């Protein structure tokens, strides 16, 4: 094993020496697209082409779904004893950890997140997730229903069949694991469609899964664009379920595809505009730290990023100053291959321009650009926007309603608790929220009244594989993480025996 680089130049040298696999993975092998088409994958770090990736379409999707269906019906994975499934998945988790540096480098090159986070968060969390569900393999039990004395009603959990997992570009490894691991432990076969902006780590994961002993056809990866690969998966009559994380707009398309095809199951984790509610008695230092990290971590490219702050007017200016201090002193923007950097590049030029467009919109709507709002590190050829605070906003502004998905914080002062609660819920989204106060009565009033899948009290972005993650309203439905995630990849069958 190579020694881990400790400097930017060391990681750059490692990156330039990489030979990156860009082919699809279907039926246990790396294969070119049937059309032979590929697309260039450019790193957001500097715009450099880092890989040529298979451009999969309907024919490749058909091939992957056929392989998945064949493996499922043959029972090569579905019918393995729980202890055997557990052994393979534990080995899979171990191989992810053994390839930590390579997977982290791929993730950073592909999506522009800083190498320190890829090493400490993304790859370890992926491995931990696979291990978590591996440990469930021999602990899931059927049930016996309480019926009459001459009847036996068994409630059996059975896998659905072929699961299509469509994942976004912001946390490719973590979210792929959230879908893949529970679907596999339930006994399904999986076709994974990574975002076209972030296919590289998923392609490598498939090879590691085969190395761990996963049978051919059980885990397939089809890189490609949404219209050419994602839509055919959504419409495919032999896919039993689509589990999707991404925009609300595309999530709605998945529902239409399911209705227009075979009424396949759909699970959606979509957009967010998560609010922080900061009451007058809050610990402002703790709140400022939670808010700053909650929006500037991963360049704000996080589904549940705390992108709105509703703050009591009496502490408004003090809080904004403290947020700026935390960002300036702790969350510096730099080259993603620099181990000291805490903010990296946005995913692509089009997205960077979209984020900057919201800054211009903020000015026209009457908000104040307190800091940031500009493209930086232009000379690198990469796509960087500095940490931005849009102050003195109102809840009816577009910047407070629409998901910006960048390092942009919208601050909205309020005067009354009722006004704060209305503002927190004044959104089509309901993914997450936070309440900052020393008054636990107020904290629990807000946590009950805010419509969101997760509400933190005096914290933000704390998580565990033991807790479910997902949203209310147009943030979607269904849950990733926790034992409950397995349930959506299975169905109940009642077996009723009458005897005398």
Check 107, 196, 269, 403 and give the catalytic one.
Answer: 269
Check 126, 129, 270, 303 and give the catalytic one.
Answer: 303
Kindly give the interhelix angle for 123-134 and 100-111, rounded to the nearest 10 degrees.
120
User: What b/e readout covers 398-431, taking b as 16+ CB neighbours within 10 angstroms?
Assistant: ebbebbbbbbbbbbbbbeebebbbebbbbbebbb
User: What order of strands is seen across the sheet that includes strand 151-159?
Assistant: 143-145, 151-159, 490-498
Kindly state the tokens that stand for 393: 């906003």
- Burial class from Cβ neighbours inside 10 Å (0-12, 13-18, 19+) for residue 149 reads exposed
Cβ distance 305 to 336 under 8 Å?
Answer: no
Give the other-Cβ count within 10 Å of 330's Cβ.
12
Cβ distance 372 to 416 under 8 Å?
Answer: no
Q: Which residues contact 417 (CB under 8 A, 6 or more apart)?
A: 279, 442, 445
Distance of alpha carbon 88 from alpha carbon 242, whole angstroms? 24
Residue 269 among the catalytic residues: yes
Residue 126 among the catalytic residues: no
Q: Using CA atoms of 199, 205, 207, 212 in order, give the dihedral in degrees to the nearest 10.
A: -170
Helix (H, G, I), strand (E, B) or coil at 211: helix
Annotated catalytic residues are: 269, 303
């Amino acid at each position: 094993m190579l020694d881990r680089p400790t400097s930017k130049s060391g990681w750059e040298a490692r990156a330039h020496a990489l030979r990156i696999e860009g082919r699809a993975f279907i039926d246990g092998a790396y294969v070119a697209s049937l059309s032979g088409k590929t697309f260039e994958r450019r790193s957001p770090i500097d715009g450099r082409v880092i890989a040529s990736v298979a451009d999969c379409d309907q024919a490749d999707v058909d091939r992957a779904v056929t392989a998945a269906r064949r493996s499922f019906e043959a029972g090569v994975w579905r019918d393995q004893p729980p202890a055997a499934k557990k052994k393979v998945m534990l080995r899979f988790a171990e191989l992810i950890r053994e390839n930590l540096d390579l997977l982290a480098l791929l993730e950073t090159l592909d999506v522009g997140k800083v190498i320190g986070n890829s090493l400490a968060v993304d790859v370890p969390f992926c491995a931990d997730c696979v291990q978590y569900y591996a440990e469930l393999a021999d602990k899931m039990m059927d049930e016996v229903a309480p019926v009459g004395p001459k009847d036996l009603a068994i409630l059996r959990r059975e896998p659905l069949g072929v699961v299509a997992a469509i994942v976004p570009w912001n946390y490719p490894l973590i979210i792929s694991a959230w879908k893949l691991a529970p679907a596999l432990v339930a006994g399904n076969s999986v076709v994974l469609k990574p975002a076209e902006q972030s296919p590289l780590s998923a392609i490598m994961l498939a090879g590691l899964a085969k190395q761990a002993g996963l049978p051919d056809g059980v885990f397939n990866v089809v890189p490609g664009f949404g219209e050419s690969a994602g839509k055919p998966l959504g419409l495919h009559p032999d896919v039993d379920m689509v589990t999707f994380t991404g925009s609300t707009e595309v999530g709605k398309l998945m529902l239409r595809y399911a209705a227009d095809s075979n009424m396949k199951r759909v699970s959606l984790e979509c957009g967010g505009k998560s609010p922080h509610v900061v009451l007058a008695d809050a610990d402002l230092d703790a709140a400022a730290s939670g808010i700053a990290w909650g929006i500037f971590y991963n360049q704000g490219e996080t589904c549940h990023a705390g992108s709105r702050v509703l703050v009591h007017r009496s502490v408004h200016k003090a809080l904004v100053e403290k947020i700026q201090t935390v960002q300036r002193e702790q969350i510096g923007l730099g080259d993603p291959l620099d181990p000291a950097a805490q903010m990296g590049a946005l995913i692509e030029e089009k997205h960077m321009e979209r984020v900057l467009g919201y800054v211009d919109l903020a000015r026209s709507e009457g908000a104040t650009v307190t800091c940031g709002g500009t493209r930086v590190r232009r000379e690198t050829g990469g796509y960087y926007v500095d940490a931005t605070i849009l102050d003195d906003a109102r809840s009816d502004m577009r910047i407070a309603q629409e998901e910006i998905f960048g390092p942009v914080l919208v601050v909205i002062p309020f005067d009354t608790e009722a006004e704060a609660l209305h503002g927190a819920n004044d959104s089509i989204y309901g993914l997450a929220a936070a309440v900052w106060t020393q008054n636990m009565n107020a904290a629990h009033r807000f946590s009950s009244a805010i419509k969101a899948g997760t509400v933190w009290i005096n914290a933000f972005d704390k998580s565990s594989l033991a807790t479910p993650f997902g949203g209310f309203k147009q943030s979607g439905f269904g849950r990733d993480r926790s034992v409950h995630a397995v349930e959506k990849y299975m169905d109940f069958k009642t077996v009723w025996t009458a005897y005398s």
